[in-house]
DNA sequence: CGCTACTTGCGAACTACTTGCTTCTTGGAG
DNA sequence: CTCCAAGAAGCAAGTAGTTCGCAAGTAGCG
């Protein structure tokens, strides 16, 4: 598995727990640490919450996962491969929709041109009201 | 004061503490509940943190202040009058810059057209790297 | 196969925020 | 001007989410 490479290059190991955490993130799409832990417990009940937290942090350093703020305060994790969309969080119903990252391309360009600011659009959710709740 | 109106219309009161909280938010531009509390304590040392939290919530319901997520998890409050800009948070140095809301106009329009999503751009910070750190 | 450094599990500690309860205060009514 | 009900403040305990310390376990190089 290529993942092993990413880890070992930094002197890290691919432990069963770590593998499970990564797999859980990939399957869940986006999930809070708590949700990841729950998922992992399905196949490995003894895993500790702090292990999940540590592994998410580790995997993030290596670049295999990334976190996003969806608003409630807690971070939400993604597999790095999926980071091609941004999140539309509805303040009314709480749903989280996706949109391809290029709807923001123009916006990102504006910020780069006018402020020299290099934007990571997917890091924060976009807050508003979804189509269903607007009605 | 007009504020009194906004409050009383909803059966709420204008207490010294509430006034101070509002004033602190206005003076600070944007601040975490903790920072507001600290500011208020300068002139009213006995104020309780929970009072600040409750007042921020109350003032938000009335529409005099609004909160934004800047990322660390805690909310950040603004006076409603100042909500005409969005926040550029730098992941490297942690600085928070402002940008007029119209740089996002295009982006907002895209989301509205393609997804029927009504965006509140200022609610979440825009994450990235500021000009100074890009160098 | 053995060793060493990285990891895990677990409990306790922390931080940021919330809630319950009692006492005090605001502000409209009399 | 005084009274009173409802709202608000203060305090303290509670909760959620996350981190830390340390002893025991284990991946993986040699």
A101 close to A85: Cβ distance less than 8 angstroms: yes
Structure-token match 């509140």, residue found: B120
pLDDT-based confidence at residue A110 (cuts at 50, 70, 90): very high
- Best probe of the B interface among A69, A90, A99, A117, by most B CBs < 10 A, is A117
Chain B environment of A125 (Cβ under 8 Å) = 124
Q: How far apart are CA A112 and CA A104, in angstroms?
A: 12
Q: How far apart are CA B70 and CA B127, in angstroms?
A: 9
pTM of the model: 0.86
Q: Report if CB B4 to strand D is under 7 Å.
A: no
> Mean per-residue pLDDT for B71-75?
76
Determine contact: B130 vs chain A, CB below 8 A: yes
Q: Is B45 exposed, middle or buried (0-12, 13-18, 19+ CB in 10 A)?
A: exposed
Determine contact: B113 vs chain A, CB below 8 A: no
Structure tokens at B109: 């329009």
Spacing of C-alpha B82 from chain mean position: 8
Q: First CA to last CA across chain A, in angstroms? A: 47
Chain B environment of A70 (Cβ under 8 Å) = none
Beta strands at A85-90 and A126-129: parallel, antiparallel or unpaired? parallel
pLDDT-based confidence at residue B3 (cuts at 50, 70, 90): confident
Of B107, B114, B124, the CB nearest to A127: B124
Q: Residue B18 above 60 pLDDT?
A: yes
Q: Residue B43 above 80 pLDDT?
A: yes
User: Looking at chain B, which residues constitute the CATH 3.30.1490.190 domain(s)?
Assistant: 84-134
Chain A environment of B131 (Cβ under 8 Å) = 115-117
Q: Residue B54 above 90 pLDDT?
A: yes
A53 close to A65: Cβ distance less than 8 angstroms: no
| Confidence at residue A57, expressed as pLDDT on a 0 to 100 scale | 95
SS3 for B68-113 is EECCCCCEEEEEHHHCCEEEEEECCCCCEEEEEHHHHHHHHHHHHH
> Mean per-residue pLDDT for A97-103?
88
> Mean per-residue pLDDT for A117-123?
89
Spacing of C-alpha A120 from chain mean position: 13
pLDDT digits (tens, 9 = 90+) for A76-93: 999 988 767 888 988 888
Determine contact: B98 vs chain A, CB below 8 A: no
Buried b (16+ CB within 10 A) or exposed e, B78-100: bbbeebebbbbbbeeeeebbebe
Cβ-defined contact of B127 to A124 (cutoff 8 Å)? yes
Topology classification of domain B4-81? Arc Repressor Mutant, subunit A (1.10.10)
User: Looking at chain A, which residues constitute the CATH 1.10.10.10 domain(s)?
Assistant: 4-81
| Confidence at residue B40, expressed as pLDDT on a 0 to 100 scale | 93
Flag residues 32-91 of B with CB < 7 Å from strand C: 32-34, 49-50, 53-54, 73-75
Flag residues 32-61 of B with CB < 7 Å from strand D: 44, 46-48, 50-51, 54-55, 58
How many residues are there in chain B? 135
Count of alpha carbons within 13 angstroms of residue B95, beta-carbon side: 10
CA dihedral in degrees (A58, A62, A65, A71; nearest 10)? 70
Cβ-defined contact of B120 to A111 (cutoff 8 Å)? no
CB under 8 Å to B113, separation ≥6 — which residues? Answer: none
Topology classification of domain B84-134? Dna Ligase; domain 1 (3.30.1490)
pLDDT-based confidence at residue A25 (cuts at 50, 70, 90): very high
């Amino acid at each position: 598995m290529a993942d092993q490479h990413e880890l070992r290059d930094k002197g890290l190991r691919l432990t069963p727990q770590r593998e499970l955490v990564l797999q859980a993130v990939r399957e869940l799409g986006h999930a809070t640490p708590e949700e990841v832990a729950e998922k992992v417990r399905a196949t490995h009940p003894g895993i500790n919450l702090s292990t999940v937290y540590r592994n998410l942090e580790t995997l993030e350093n290596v670049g295999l996962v990334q976190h996003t703020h969806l608003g409630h305060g807690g971070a939400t994790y993604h597999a790095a491969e999926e980071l091609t969309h941004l999140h539309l969080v509805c303040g009314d119903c709480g749903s989280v929709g996706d949109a391809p990252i290029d709807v923001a391309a123009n916006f990102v360009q504006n910020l780069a041109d006018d402020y020299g600011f290099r934007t990571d659009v997917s890091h924060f959710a976009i807050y508003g009201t979804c189509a269903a709740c607007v009605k």
